[in-house]
Structure 1
Amino acid sequence: MAAAGHKVYTGIYLSQLLGKPIRDAQGARIARVQDLVVKFGTHPHPPVSGVVARAGSREFFIERSQIAEISDQGVRLNTFKVNLRPFERRDGEVLLGRDILDKQLIDIDGRKVIRANDLELGYFDGDYRLVGVDVSPQALLRRLGPAALTRNLRGTRVIDWEDVESFATDVPMVRLRVSHDKLSKLHPVDIAHILEHLSREQANEVLEALNDEIAADAVQEMDPADAADVMQALDSDRAADILEEMDPEDAADLLADLPKERADELLGLMEPKESEEVRELMAYKEGTAAGLMTNDFVALPATVSVGEALEALRRMEHVPNPLYHIYLVDDEERLAGVVALRDLVISPPSTPLAEIAQKEVAPAHPDDPAPAVAKKMAEYNLPTLPVVDDAGKLLGVVLFDDAMDLLIPEGWHHRLSQVFG
């Protein structure tokens, strides 16, 4: 045994322990190991709280306090007496064999979904604990092959349990809280990639746990078909909350991929302002500048000063992200000029916006083909491109990222987002 506080990798694997004998204090065999129970709590490595034992057709629970030693030879007790009451799960308890082994997990450090081919146990901090997850092919061979041939098998790959998240949906009939706090700290692109590889139940669990903004950012980065599948299955109120936090153009695209009945339901559950913005965008034809644009932009009267514009931005409940330009409009909401955010910041507060605005603007028309808009933005390196109707009224803005989605090969989206996101 090791002193408390020192992590010891004992080389005990769950697969080698299952089915092994349980012996009393004198060494008499009384049962075999059916499963191992750990208690999820605050410690990053859950402690063993007991063993599910089987003797004939009887299944019962042996408390940790009655266990003297756990090894690859089985379990040795410190008593001659055990309570043969049937095993009943308590809140927070997880059966390693039934709930974790062979299940999908999240490798936070590796930012991917893994499968638990085996589980390693260790003794430290005064107890037997779940140390890590073996994801190597050798782990499967160790379970399937003859013991004599696999006992000294090398090449295992154990991921520390501290860097792993499991799923409450894999633990039936018990209240288990999994916060997914570690997952929430990843980049939205990484969360999206993970969501795409989970079952719908697991993806729903993650989206229920994340805050609205992080969940929205992740859904926006998902493959459109996967995002639609997730939002179709997600609780309606939760789905509406996420849609409210999404960029309007992304929310509109997602809803367009859902059955009309489901889309109408979610639009009806959204806050009126956000719902109206999305409905406006959904009315435009796909494959056009209008279908590509967002109506989430900042427009101010051409008569205001730099100082007044900055104060207006500070007072706004929501500021578009990203924000590259301020758009100047006249009394009839016609486009009158564009002010770069950099020019706004460095100009004296008393300067009229009209003096620093770019007035020679070549906006897009709502019916312009989306590929042509994207090509124009790429050629002229435009971060945004305003869209106006026949009367010159400002309808929306095409963002560079959305335009580039039309030009970048599908497989590169995740990679570029990770580099530049």
Structure 2
Amino acid sequence: MFYLSNILGVRVLDRKQAVVGSIADLEVATGEKFPVVMAVLVKTQRGLTSVAWHNVRGLGITECTLKLADAELQPNFKLEDTSMLLLNHVLDKQIVDIHGAKVVRVNDIELAESHGQLRVIAADAGFRSFMRRAGFAWLIHIVERRSHHKIGENSIPWSFVEPLGRDVRSVQVRATWKELSKLHPSDLADIVDDLDFNERDALFKALNDEQAADTLAELEDDKVKVTILERLGVARAADILEEMDPDDAADILQDTRTETQEAMLQEMEPEEREDVRELLAYDEDTAGGLMTNDYLEIRQEMSAEQVIEVLRREVPDTETIYYLYVTDDDGHLAGILSLRALIVAQPGTNVADIMQKRTVSVFVDDPKGKVAEIIGKYNYLALPVVDHEGVLQGIVTVDDVLDQAMD
């Protein structure tokens, strides 16, 4: 095994042992767990020449010997979309460590020869590799001896690596983003924070609408959310907003310019648009600004069996089902039914007989501090929000209160 930094710039000899140039880079195939080196890029007096690996007799940290004569080394380099260059596209660039779900800088690249092929096996992103490349490996040994502590390599197996160094329009990088889309949204959100504008654009273009919505919801910086949506364009932004919980979509639109907000709303489907519009009407520092109107509403004359059937049908599209909210014909909050009470009830039992009739709720214009106080006092997972006539308008979930507390 050796490092890319060890061989860059080493002299290249032709088959007659004459010096013909130096190593400028290595070209590797993409799309493999441990990419094969396809060619050595040689810097000669005539220009940059790509020498296929099968024409390399030997490669070490002091020299590279070719099977070709000097006259055969003509400038011929052209990089295909299915390849990349280790120096130009990876070394000192950002990569995504999929296993650790983070963006890191590559300080060196580990290579190993096996069965006549040279392969990339790992990326080094630690302090040790940085010092080694800088020529201070001796200093690391001194520090380790005096501190009795070994400085780790932070070597990331290439199977966990996705490079970001190529043009984001290329085939390979589109494949990279597709691979990243398999990560959990919270991990993706951590990665997004370390990407530049173009890389963020490429990532969100590779995500489907639901994945994009889930990832946006996990981001902490509201300005970043707005910027991402605006750069994706009104039509795509609307598709993503439709997949978000209404309260999350409203939070993002609250921070967009008025004309952009209206354009995105107009592109949304009518039902989702109206849900979000309702929430935008409330002050963000009130219960109405915290609540979601995505909840399950049932009637007290229904049986437990009927409610369970409603659950089976509606749960996939509902944000939370901590509780079921019982309303009368005019929408007034009449009671709350817990899932536990529903599950243990006999199928024919009426909701009116098992629901909790004494309820605690807040008004839509109550300050968010009061909402947090009540949720904390009663250990509620969700709290109903009503208008001053007692008509149910939405619910505030405990996670929304926690998010506000951490802002």
**Secondary structure of the corresponding residue to residue 19 of structure 1:** coil
What CA deviation, in whole Å up to 9, does each residue of 1:54-97 have, x standing for no partner? Answer: 21251121112212222222422223263524311112111111
1:99-132: CA deviations, max 9, x gaps?
A: 1111111112222210011111112365211111
Native 8 Å contact 2:295 2:320 kept in 1 = no
Aligned to 2:92: 102
Aligned partners of 2:152, 2:389: CA distance in 1, in Å?
Answer: 70
In structure 2, what is the equivalent of residue 132 of structure 1?
122
The 5-angstrom pairing of residues 145-294 of structure 1 reads 145=135, 156-167=153-164, 170-171=166-167, 174-176=170-172, 177-180=174-177, 183-223=180-220, 224-294=222-292
Q: Which residue identity lines up with residue 379 of structure 1 in the other structure?
A: K
- Specify the alignment match of 2:340 in structure 1: 342
Name the structure 2 match of 1:6: none
1:415 aligns to what?
A: none
CA distances 1:239-261 after superposition (whole Å, capped 9, x unpaired): 33322221111111111122223
**2:266 & 2:60 partners in 1: Cα distance?**
58
**Are 1:94 and 1:171, in contact at CA under 8 Å, matched by a contact in 2?**
no
Q: CA separation of 1:273/1:74 partners in 2, compared to 1, >3 Å: closer, same or farther?
A: farther
Question: What is the SS of the residue equivalent to 1:238?
Answer: helix
Partner of 1:62: 51
Measured after TM superposition, the shift of residue 235 of structure 1 is 4.1
> Is contact 1:99-1:171 (8 Å) kept?
no
- Aligned residue in 2 for 1:7: none
Amino acid at match of 1:166: P
CA 1:173/1:353 → structure 2, altered by over 3 Å: closer, same or farther?
Answer: closer
Could you say which residue in structure 2 is the equivalent of 1:29? 19
Cα separation, partners in 2 of 1:288 and 1:151, compared to 1, 3 Å:
closer
| Deviates most, 244-253 or 309-318 | 309-318
For residues 213-233 of structure 1, what are the alpha-carbon distances to aligned partners after superposition, in whole Å with 9 as ceiling and x for unaligned? 333222111112322232232
- Once the two structures are superposed, residues 140-182 of structure 1 have per-residue CA deviations (whole angstroms, 9 ceiling, x without a partner) of 3333338999999985332111111123x63367432324455
Q: Which secondary structure does the structure 1 equivalent of 2:27 belong to?
A: strand
Q: Aligned pair in 2 of structure 1 residues 341, 273: CA closer, same or farther (>3 Å)?
A: same
What corresponds to 2:148 in structure 1? none
How far residue 368 of structure 1 moved from its aligned partner, in angstroms, is: 0.2
- What is the TM-score normalised by the length of structure 1? 0.87
1:87 aligned partner, one-letter code: F
Structure 1: how far apart are the matches of 2:261 and 2:125? 40
Compute the displacement of 1:187 (Å): 3.6
Cα shift at 1:269? 2.5
Partner Cα separation in structure 2 for residue 209 and residue 125 of structure 1: 36
How far apart are the structure 1 equivalents of 2:206 and 2:276? 25
What is residue 386 of structure 2 aligned with on the other side? 388
What is the SS of the residue equivalent to 1:405?
helix
What TM-score results when the alignment is normalised by the length of structure 2?
0.90
Unaligned runs of 5+ in 1: 1-9, 411-421
In structure 2, what is the equivalent of residue 5 of structure 1?
none
Residue identity in the other structure for 1:68:
R
Counterpart of 2:293 in structure 1 is 295
CA RMSD of the aligned region, Å? 2.6
**Structure 2 counterpart of 1:59, one-letter code:** L
Q: Is the 8 A contact 1:306 1:351 kept in 2?
A: yes
* 2:162–2:176 CA contact under 8 A, matched in 1: no
On the 8 A contact 1:179/1:209 being kept in 2, the answer is: no
CA contact under 8 A between 2:337 and 2:356: conserved in structure 1? yes
Amino acid at match of 1:164: V
Answering whether residue 82 of structure 2 is matched by residue 92 of structure 1, we say yes
**Hey, what's the Cα distance between the residues in 2 that align with 1:172 and 1:60?**
26
1:288-312 Cα deviation digits (max 9, x unpaired) = 0000000110112222111111112
